[in-house]
Structure 1
Amino acid sequence: MDPEIVALASSAGTTVVTLMATDAWERVRNGITSLWRREQVERAEAVAAELDATREDLLAASQTGDQDVEAELQAEWQGRIRRLLAARPEAAEELRRLLEELAPDIGAAPAVTQHATASGHARIYQAGRDQHISER
Structure 2
Amino acid sequence: MAQEDGMDPELATLASTAATTMVGLLASDGWETARDWVGRLWRRARQPERVGTLEGELVATRDEVRVARESGDADTEQQLAAAWNIQLRRLLTSSPELAHEVRRMVEEMRALAAEAGSRAPRVDMRARATGHGRVYQAGRDQRINEWE
Tell me the TM-score normalised to structure 1 length: 0.73
Alignment gaps of 5+ in structure 2 = 1-6, 114-148
Q: Are 1:43 and 2:40 matched, yes or no?
A: no
Equivalent positions of 1:110-125 (< 5 A) are none
Q: Which structure 1 residue ranges, 5 or more long, are not aligned?
A: 107-136
- CA apart distance, 1:65: 2.3
Does residue 26 of structure 1 match 2:32? yes
Contact 2:30–2:112 (CA<8 Å) still a contact in 1? no
Alpha-carbon distance, 1:51 to partner: 0.4
Change (3 A) 1:52 1:64: same
RMSD: 1.6
Percent sequence identity over matched residues? 46
Q: Which amino acid aligns with 1:66?
A: D
Question: Take 1:12 and 1:46, find their aligned partners in 2: how far apart are those partners?
Answer: 19
Helix, strand or coil at the partner of 2:96: coil
Instruction: Measure how far apart 1:37 and its partner are.
Output: 1.8
Once the 2 structures are TM-superposed, how far is the Cα of residue 105 of structure 1 from its aligned partner? 9.3
Please give the secondary structure, in 2, of the residue aligned with 1:103: helix
Query: CA–CA distance in 2 between the matches of 1:16 and 1:105?
Result: 11
How many Å separate the matches in 2 of 1:62 and 1:76? 17
Runs of 4+ aligned structure 1 residues displaced above 2 Å come to: none
